[in-house]
Chains A and B, each alone.
Chain A
Amino acid sequence: MTKKKVMIGMSGGVDSSVAAAILLEKGYEVIGVTMKIWPEKEEEGKLKEGGCCSLSAVDDARRVSYKLGIPYYVMNFQDIFEEKVIDYFKDEYLKGKTPNPCIACNRYVKFEAMLNKAVSMGIDYVATGHYAIIEYDENYKRYLLKKSVTQAKDQTYALYNLNQEQLSKILMPIGDYTKDRVRERAKELDLGVASKPDSQEICFVEDNNYGKFIEENTTSKIKSGYFVDTKGNVLGKHKGIIHYTVGQRKGLGIALGKPMYVVKLDLDNNNVVLGENDDIFSKTLIASDLNFIMIDKLKEPLNVKAKIRYSAKEADAMIYPMEKGKVKVEFDSPQRAVTPGQSIVFYNGDIVVGGGVIE
């Protein structure tokens, strides 16, 4: 019998490295790939990390692949990444929203472009080092996406856009590992990446300074405007809407004598609306661009736990189907800083019900 082939996306980090090792142990034919997504930047006199072709990710991933004895390739996804992730990221901020680029990357780059490429090459699966579990469930008669056993590391929030076809071709081998166990395995395998720190920041933005990134990479003029209170009184000047996000308190650059928070980004008037703590709580929201995994479609109200950002706690809520495929979410208790542009993901216990984008 011929082995099933898997293309694994490797970042050079500990998670994808161990994932590759696990797949080998399970008997797959494994092919390591690093997506080349970063824009070309060459400055005379400034050594590019990793030399000839890029960031140190490639060096690490290549070293791990050779250690594991698997073929390794760098594949170019620059164009699609720029269009679907970077441009989207900039456009959303310019529209006064707060995007999540990782979700866009998973949706369009890793599990669409990379998966399609793998399939076209006769490869059976795409794998990643995400902390999530994909299983076919006989009761639901569907592929389900479930939370990782490492709750603190769970990445299902960023994966809710996967459809059944995609889920049937994706493997996430470290979903039932704890982070500690992953690091142990990396050490046992002597992969040389066991102690690499977790990545936290947006991969294409230096120093996490996204405002600077947008200013440097857009032709749109970033105009300063006014901070106003909820009644419209001017409180001060801001340096451009893109620099703020709903719920933000620090770094506003004005002294107001009491804690004030960003309540809303008012694009039409180029205002940043500030309010007090109570003003940033909301009990309902509308989500659009939905994808459901546990169910085919939302036909009737459903009781769920909902998460309104990657780091948010889950909250009890009812979701109601609306026209045009939208969903109304009603929380049992008001939620802090519901942020347009961010995703909301619904859970039923460990199972991802689905999710959408907050309007």
Chain B
Amino acid sequence: MDKKIIYMDHSATTPVDSQVLDEMLPYFTKNYGNPSSIYSIGRESKKAIEDARERVAKAVFAQPREIFFTGSGTEADNWAVKGVAYSNKNKGNHIITTTIEHHAVMHACQYLESDGFEVTYLPVDENGLVSPEQVLEAIKPNTILISIMFANNEIGTIQPIGEIGKIARDKGIYFHTDAVQAIGNIPINVSELNVDLLSISAHKFYGPKGIGALYIRKGVKITSFIHGGAQERGRRASTENVAGIVGLGKAIEIATLNIDDYNKKLIELRDRTIFEIMKKIPFVRLNGHQHKRLPGNVNFSFEFIEGESLLLMLDMKGIAASSGSACTSGSLDPSHVLLSIGLPHEIAHGSLRLSFGKDNTHEDIDQLMKELPVIVERLREMSPLYEKVKRGN
């Protein structure tokens, strides 16, 4: 019995767009040449990579030679944080980041701490926002890098990247932003925003998995980690994932071209869902900022229940959702992001993230709103605490 799956977890990953797939396919079979080879099918691969590089550059208003392909967004984050740290350790050893970063940045920072670097983790307010003033105050003479995510993967909060970028630039400190969730949702111009390094991951905007990119502003001092060849201008060795790179290029082109229509649709679905959940289900809390949030992101905490059971029951009804980031759902610990915005432990356990995408419809929301209130009520029936509160009312 195959149920129709209603997919509401686009922040975890997205399906590959058919146009993207069509462009990729020849590079598996017909145009399989190694881009480093001199003969024609090698050159074709090389050209495909450079075309993709141009598309990526165009999407974020950078120069093609400032775009470097990586194996993933996580690799891009690791490279940016550790690469800048090691390359600039003679200048200083202090890094500023936040308490709500993706683990790719957070764990990279923790690793650096174990290697003698000093890291300031800026707290966020109850909406998940970090203020430019906080950043300014945290800067020390030995600060070499500020790494703050563009938009949060769990609660969707969008940071004031432009203002932070300006501060960093004025102080002469490198500024990295993890834009993995933002690309395709927010127009990004690295020059206007004064961003020095920016991480990208293709599978978050209808491209393939296993390919990412790091924008590195010309002149930024950064150490390389993968040695063994002259690819990516000697900065990231290994034979290129040609099909993946082509897919990333096409996907980012589509994503940035259609960004306004896409956003309009997602915002409509998002705001309707937020409105209906708040109207129909008591004891809920919207996590993240009301407006400064990703167009497709909905994140709620439901008091008296565990997110885990909620997700399982939604899954049984064919609704694919998440309790936080896909990477942390394996561990099922309360999310560091929700704890950072001040949620108590027991409520941080009961959260639900819905992230909409291009194939979601109002019928999907109808279905969600048919199931969700019933499931929440059913799970709450088992909670002695809820019984007490209900009787108290």
Listed residue (A31, A71, A117) with the most chain B CB atoms within 10 angstroms of its CB: A117
- Tell me if A1 is interfacial: C-beta within 8 Å of chain B: no
Is A74 in contact with B378, judged by CB distance below 8 angstroms? Answer: no
B103-144 interface with A by 8 A CB criterion: 111, 114
In whole angstroms, how far apart are the Cα atoms of A116 and B316 in the complex?
A: 18
**Which of chain A's residues 61-84 have a Cβ closer than 8 Å to chain B?**
71, 73-76
CB atoms of A116 and B382 under 8 A apart: yes
Residues B382 and A76 in contact, CB atoms below 8 Å apart:
no
| Chain B proximity of A305: nearest CB distance (Å) | 39
The answer to the question of A53 belonging to the interface, with a C-beta cut-off of 8 Å to chain B, is yes
Q: Is the interface of A mostly helix, strand, loop or mixed?
A: mixed
A52 within 8 A of B: yes
Q: How many cross-chain pairs have Cβ atoms below 8 Å apart between A and B?
A: 42
Q: Which residue of B lies closest to A122 (CB)?
A: B378
The stretch from B208-216, B219-227, B244-252, B305-313 touching chain A is B305-313
**How distant is B339 from chain A, measured CB to nearest CB, in Å?**
15
A53-B333 Cα distance, complex, nearest whole Å: 11
> Across the two chains, which residue of chain A brings its CB closest to B331?
A53
In Å, the complex CA distance between A71 and B111 comes to: 36
Question: Quick check: is A121 within 8 A (CB to CB) of the other chain?
Answer: yes
Closest-CB distance, A47 to chain B (whole angstroms): 15
A53 touches B312 (CB 8 A): no
Asked whether any CB of chain B lies closer than 8 Å to the CB of A44, the reply is yes
B44 at the interface (CB under 8 A from A): no
- Cα A74 to Cα B308 in complex, Å, equals 9
Determine whether A119 belongs to the interface, using a CB cutoff of 8 Å to chain B: yes
Taken together as a complex, chains A and B put the C-alpha atoms of A116 and B308 apart, in Å, by 14
Cβ–Cβ contact B312 & A121, under 8 A: yes
Contact: A71 with B313, CB < 8 Å? no
Would you call B392 an interface residue if the criterion is a C-beta within 8 Å of the partner chain's C-beta atoms?
no
- Which listed residue (B309, B332, B333) contacts A120, Cβ 8 A? B309
A40's partner among B114, B331, B378 (CB-CB below 8 A) is B331
Q: Report the Cα distance A122→B310, complex, angstroms.
A: 11
- Given A40-B333, A53-B330, A75-B332, A122 and B313 touching (CB < 8 A)? yes
- Contact B378–A75 (Cβ < 8 Å): no
A40, A44, A76: the one contacting B308 at CB < 8 Å is A76
Asked whether, in the complex, the Cβ of A73 is within 8 Å of the Cβ of B312, the reply is yes
- Scoring A residues 30 to 60 as 1 if CB is less than 8 Å from chain B, else 0, what string do you get? 0100001000100010000000111000000
A119 to B312, CA, bound (A): 13
> Which residues in A have their C-beta under 8 angstroms from that of B330?
52-54, 74
Please, how many angstroms separate the alpha-carbon atoms of A44 and B331 in the complex? 17
Given the complex, which residues of B lie within 8 Å of A53, measured CB to CB? 330-331
Residues of A within 8 A of B315 (CB): 71
Residue on B with the closest CB to A29? B316
* Given A52-B330, A75-B308, A121:B313 Cβ within 8 A: yes
Q: Are B379 and A36 closer than 8 Å at their CB atoms?
A: no
B389 at the interface (CB under 8 A from A): no
Per-residue contact bits, chain B 323-334, to A (CB 8 Å; 1 contact, 0 not): 000010011110
Query: Which residues 93-126 of A sit at the B interface, judged by CB distance below 8 A?
Result: 116-117, 119-122
- Mark each residue of chain B from 239 to 268: 1 if its CB lies under 8 Å from any CB of chain A, else 0: 000000000000000000000000000000
B381 within 8 A of A: yes
B327 contacts across to A, CB distance below 8 A: 52
Nearest chain A CB to B322 CB, angstrom units? 13
1/0 per position for B5-24, CB-CB distance to A under 8 A? Answer: 00000000000000000000
CB closest residue in chain A, given B327: A52
The interface residues of chain B lying within 8 Å CB-to-CB of A119 are: 382
Contact with A along B369-393 (1 / 0, CB 8 A): 0000000001101100000000000
User: Nearest 8 pairs between A and B by C-beta?
Assistant: A53-B330, A120-B382, A76-B332, A52-B330, A121-B313, A121-B309, A120-B379, A53-B331
**Given contacts A52-B330, A71-B316, A120-B381, could you give 19 more A-B pairs where the C-beta distance is less than 8 Å?**
A31-B312, A36-B331, A40-B331, A52-B327, A53-B330, A53-B331, A71-B315, A73-B312, A75-B332, A76-B332, A116-B382, A119-B382, A120-B309, A120-B378, A120-B382, A121-B316, A121-B378, A122-B313, A122-B378
Q: What are 21 A-B interface contacts by the 8 Å CB criterion?
A: A31-B316, A36-B331, A40-B333, A44-B114, A52-B327, A52-B331, A53-B331, A54-B330, A71-B315, A71-B316, A74-B332, A75-B308, A75-B332, A76-B332, A116-B382, A120-B378, A120-B379, A120-B381, A120-B382, A121-B312, A122-B378
Residues of chain B touching chain A, judged by Cβ–Cβ distance below 8 Å, are 111, 114, 308-309, 312-313, 315-316, 327, 330-333, 378-379, 381-382
